[in-house]
Structure 1
């Protein structure tokens, strides 16, 4: 960042060494999306995230744009509008207290489709004059000496540096942008990213991915870049200049980082595809389940991050890729010889076909983990859970001694060797079901989590063929008490009692009473 750009930004951060509080999950996702959108504007020079304001955009002309990025799922209230207006006005005053820098202010928000205009002069004037009783100062640095809460700081700045001329100028610079819902905003940005980087990837292996895969990967790269800057916390003794450097990125650097990520080999492309899928599943859950408890939203965010790390590391290698494919695919078993014998385009095509089944796998896994956290932890512990907690580490639930497929091990289950497939239902083509069942007969997990097929459940043995289970010409489920060879038997779990669709994620099922119970609830 140019030296001349630092000075007004440092003043912006004088009154808050750290931002006051972390916003809800959807709020900070939205904030990162706004920052990405700004970086895709040709006249953007630099973007700073979560310093002084939610987002600060520096234009090539030297103009500063202060952005409050807000996600209001139930619509913005008058009090919230007032709060945002006053904060932006106070920040405008901070940046223009000594020199008239060119500064604009924007409320960039999702307002649930409700039209939102700038306030009338009468309302705005009432808002900026509604100041708490506080001291006035002649130097911004002095506010650090005052033990003020956020609104008191805002009042102090408005009373100390505001005047009619400043307010008239601010009114001209204040605007409101309303956006579509999160999922639509993400899709819009994904398309913009694909168009922005098309000239760079047309000659690369990356170009052989389908449009949806390209968009998902590019969005994942861009979001990760912003998340790294968002998550940087100001440490004691760190200069404001040092914090700005950590929280800012130029458009040029942003473009170069994305370009470096897509100029890569087949294994890295597959890894990035899988990581992008994880983000897509997470985003879909968050957008389609607007009513969740705060701990559920937070745990889903942590599960998303940890899953990307786990699957990203696993899918760097052909062995890991094969393990994932043989867990969720509806195709015949893939061997290392088969996979290595395929060219890069065939591998990309195989991976691209797996997304819908991957989504089933991941939703089931995450929902079961959330259920375990719910019944194992008291409310206070859930609210304070950390990303590093073992219950949020995917590896906690993986049987590491099995490499042919992703073998699941839930501590509270009566069986310790299970598989979550990509879902099979009675209307699936017979060959799809045959391929899945044939692999399971070879691997012999002791429980099949088969989301989608509620027609079969209970104990069965590996003594009859996959053909019999496909045609549903199988014996009644076996009484487990009479099974002598447990290693040659399996439990078929239909997962009817685990809900993962729109609106279902606010509900917690007690797995101890259903899927971890040896007697299926359908037989009770």
Structure 2
């Protein structure tokens, strides 16, 4: 089979490549992971390897697809650089002696892209005049390729290879098979469509997750995690042969893992990660500054890391539900996995809003990680303290949106919080109809608009911050708010309401 030969040639393709340190979930890499999932869905795929040769390498029974991934919805692509990079990989694999099909692919979501013609492609290659093609036997050619690609800048390595091995007919062959595959949908829509495809392929008679949308969200979250885990684990092998074995995702193993997830109870953290993924997908097209785009990417990654490490137990689920829910009754740790999982799905939108709230606050504070300002050791809810950023409150809870019936929902939360050992001094609870101060000792849903005297704050008093100053709706993420003068201040600029 050609695939056996492909595995013999691919390790050498990694020579000269800068170690690719992908951050899973950043906008471009999330799109890349989804492209890898789509490759795994295809029946002809034997395995996929991310971050080894270009962004994705797909091996089929008769060839290799070398894929570069680009998600730039507001900007044009650098087709010259992309074409050079793919042609560089194409020449390498051919000169190493691989005889199967080599398909260079640009998978993209961007402004319109035009395929280069022959003359344009030759200009891209920046070929020297009068350069003679290197001649030699197979071993000498392989040695010359390695000489070309082991030293110098990326551009130098490309130019060295082109100068030594360029052939017009080979360039024409490259252009004949070069594919530009556009994904017209946003990341969120593309993610949803792939979840639907996976669900169709993995229909089972019995699945613990009965709701179709929930099941599809779970599948695509697990699918992207299976891809990410292979290239993002620490301490990966230095040997290229071993690294290839470590990075590749076999299609049969991929679908076996997904099928197992459908047949048995899915872990809590995979369910929650699917919500975090969707929350992030809603924001990827927001017009953030370059620095805040990077921060949001890191916040998203670190949130999923924290979820994976802390919320895969009944106590972790209850901690999250206590943080975001405004319902009068929540399941306890002893109520069983199915009840806890159902409660998570009921609170899905609130969990996503929680992510948006904490991410926006952290962007305003120029923070990069979910754990910064998080208070460890408080298990009843997810507690934060922003005192180092001029917040008067020592202990705060970042909740969700209160929606309709604010008095009733505040009363629901208050009844729950009164029983906690360490009660928050401030609730960050998005609501235009509830702001001011309450008292844990009084079982009422009245929030009074009072002037704050920080020195007189008692353990029984708490504040409700309406979050009206912090924009998380569409189009609001480009605005940087001053938290010290708004949600951290001693007086709400909107005044109080009863």
TM range (shorter): 0.7 to 0.9
Task: For residues 94-135 of structure 1, give each alpha carbon's deviation from its aligned partner in whole angstroms, at most 9, with x where no partner exists.
Answer: 1112534321111111124x3x34223332333335459999
2:442 pairs with 1:449: no
Kindly tell me: are residues 234 and 165 of structure 1, through their superposed partners in 2, closer, same or farther at Cα, counting changes over 3 Å?
Answer: farther
Kindly tell me: are residues 407 and 170 of structure 1, through their superposed partners in 2, closer, same or farther at Cα, counting changes over 3 Å?
Answer: closer
How far did residue 90 of structure 1 move?
2.1
Q: Equivalent residue for 1:387? A: none
User: 2:58·2:65 contact (CA, 8 Å) conserved in 1?
Assistant: yes
How far did residue 176 of structure 1 move?
1.0
User: 1:450·1:492 contact (CA, 8 Å) conserved in 2?
Assistant: yes
Q: Equivalent residue for 2:180? A: 176
The CA RMSD over aligned residues, in Å, is 3.2
User: 1:282·1:304 contact (CA, 8 Å) conserved in 2?
Assistant: yes
User: 1:514·1:521 contact (CA, 8 Å) conserved in 2?
Assistant: yes
Of residues 77, 91, 94 in structure 1, which corresponds to 2:92? Answer: 94
Q: Equivalent residue for 2:137? A: none
Q: Equivalent residue for 2:43? A: 42
Kindly tell me: are residues 399 and 457 of structure 1, through their superposed partners in 2, closer, same or farther at Cα, counting changes over 3 Å?
Answer: farther
Q: Equivalent residue for 1:84? A: 82
User: 1:278·1:304 contact (CA, 8 Å) conserved in 2?
Assistant: yes
Deviates more, 1:415-424 or 1:459-468: 459-468
CA distance, structure 2, for counterparts of residue 486 and residue 110 of structure 1: 54
Kindly tell me: are residues 317 and 86 of structure 1, through their superposed partners in 2, closer, same or farther at Cα, counting changes over 3 Å?
Answer: closer
Q: Equivalent residue for 2:295? A: 299
- SS of 1:66's equivalent in the other structure is strand
How far did residue 395 of structure 1 move?
7.2
Q: Equivalent residue for 1:121? A: 118
Task: For residues 48-84 of structure 1, give each alpha carbon's deviation from its aligned partner in whole angstroms, at most 9, with x where no partner exists.
Answer: 2122322111112x2111111112223435xx11221
Q: Equivalent residue for 1:477? A: 450
Kindly indicate which of the two structures has a greater share of residues assigned to helix: 1
Q: Equivalent residue for 2:29? A: 28
How far did residue 364 of structure 1 move?
1.3
Taking the TM superposition and a 5 Å limit, the aligned residue runs for 1:335-374 are 336=332, 340-341=334-335, 345-373=338-366
Kindly tell me: are residues 433 and 98 of structure 1, through their superposed partners in 2, closer, same or farther at Cα, counting changes over 3 Å?
Answer: closer
Q: Equivalent residue for 2:475? A: 503
Kindly tell me: are residues 144 and 104 of structure 1, through their superposed partners in 2, closer, same or farther at Cα, counting changes over 3 Å?
Answer: closer
Normalising by structure 2, report the TM-score: 0.86
Of residues 372, 392, 408 in structure 1, which corresponds to 2:384? Answer: 408
2:201 pairs with 1:204: no
CA distance, structure 2, for counterparts of residue 14 and residue 70 of structure 1: 23
CA distance, structure 2, for counterparts of residue 240 and residue 476 of structure 1: 65
- SS of 1:421's equivalent in the other structure is strand
CA distance, structure 1, for counterparts of residue 146 and residue 31 of structure 2: 31
CA distance, structure 2, for counterparts of residue 23 and residue 404 of structure 1: 30
Q: Equivalent residue for 1:379? A: none
The count of corresponding residues between Structure 1 and Structure 2 is 481
- SS of 2:202's equivalent in the other structure is helix
User: 1:49·1:56 contact (CA, 8 Å) conserved in 2?
Assistant: yes
How far did residue 431 of structure 1 move?
4.1
User: 1:66·1:106 contact (CA, 8 Å) conserved in 2?
Assistant: yes
Q: Equivalent residue for 2:164? A: 160
How far did residue 313 of structure 1 move?
4.2
Kindly tell me: are residues 148 and 371 of structure 1, through their superposed partners in 2, closer, same or farther at Cα, counting changes over 3 Å?
Answer: same
Q: Equivalent residue for 2:269? A: 271
CA distance, structure 2, for counterparts of residue 20 and residue 318 of structure 1: 34
User: 2:429·2:466 contact (CA, 8 Å) conserved in 1?
Assistant: yes
User: 1:104·1:173 contact (CA, 8 Å) conserved in 2?
Assistant: yes
- Runs of at least 5 residues in structure 2 that lack an aligned partner in the other structure: 135-140
CA distance, structure 2, for counterparts of residue 132 and residue 408 of structure 1: 64
Q: Equivalent residue for 1:251? A: 251
2:121 pairs with 1:142: no
User: 1:278·1:308 contact (CA, 8 Å) conserved in 2?
Assistant: yes
Q: Which runs of 4+ in 1 moved over 6 A?
A: 20-24, 132-136
Q: Equivalent residue for 1:56? A: 57
CA distance, structure 2, for counterparts of residue 418 and residue 322 of structure 1: 17
Taking the TM superposition and a 5 Å limit, the aligned residue runs for 1:416-431 are 416-425=394-403, 427-428=404-405, 431=408
User: 2:268·2:313 contact (CA, 8 Å) conserved in 1?
Assistant: no
How far did residue 167 of structure 1 move?
1.8
Normalising by structure 1, report the TM-score: 0.82
